[in-house]
Structure 1
Amino acid sequence: MAALKNKGKYLKPFKNWFVIILIFFAVWMIFFDANSWFIHNELNQDVEALEAEKEYYKREIEKDNRAIKKLSTEEGLEKFAREEYFMKRENEEIFIIEYEDSLKTKPNE
Structure 2
Amino acid sequence: MQRLWSLIRNKYLLATLAFLVWMLFFDRNDFATQYSYQKQRANLETERSFYLKENAAIIKTINDIRSNPQEVQRIAREKYKMKKDNEDIYVVSKVAPKETP
In the superposition, the TM-score normalised over structure 1's length comes to 0.69
Q: Return 5+ residue gaps in structure 1 as ranges.
A: none
Give me the identity figure in percent. 22
- Shift of the alpha carbon at 1:98? 5.1
Shift of 1:103: 7.5
Q: Is 1:62–2:56 an aligned residue pair?
A: yes
Say whether the 8 Å CA contact 2:83–2:89 is kept in structure 1: no
Structure 2 equivalent of residue 45 of structure 1: 39
Q: Unpaired segments of 5 or more residues in structure 2?
A: none
Q: What is the aligned counterpart of 1:93 among 72, 86, 99?
A: 86
- 1:29 is matched by which residue type in structure 2? M
Cα separation, 1, equivalents of 2:29 and 2:4: 32
Amino acid at match of 2:69: E
Runs (4+) off by over 6 Å: none
- The alignment's TM-score, normalised by the length of structure 2, stands at 0.74
| TM-superposition CA deviations, 1:74-99 (whole Å, max 9, x none) | 110112223333321xxx62133455
Aligned length: 94
SS in 2 for 1:96: coil
Pair 1:42–1:82, CA change in 2 (3 A) = closer
Do structure 1's residue 80 and structure 2's residue 79 form an aligned pair?
no
Could you say what the CA RMSD is over the residues aligned between the two structures, in angstroms?
2.4
Q: Distance in 1 between matches of 2:77 and 2:62?
A: 16
Query: After the TM superposition, which of the residue ranges 57-66 and 79-88 deviates more from structure 2?
Result: 79-88
Point out the more displaced range, 13-22 or 63-72.
63-72
Following the alignment from structure 1 to structure 2, what is the Cα–Cα distance between the partners of residues 82 and 75? 11
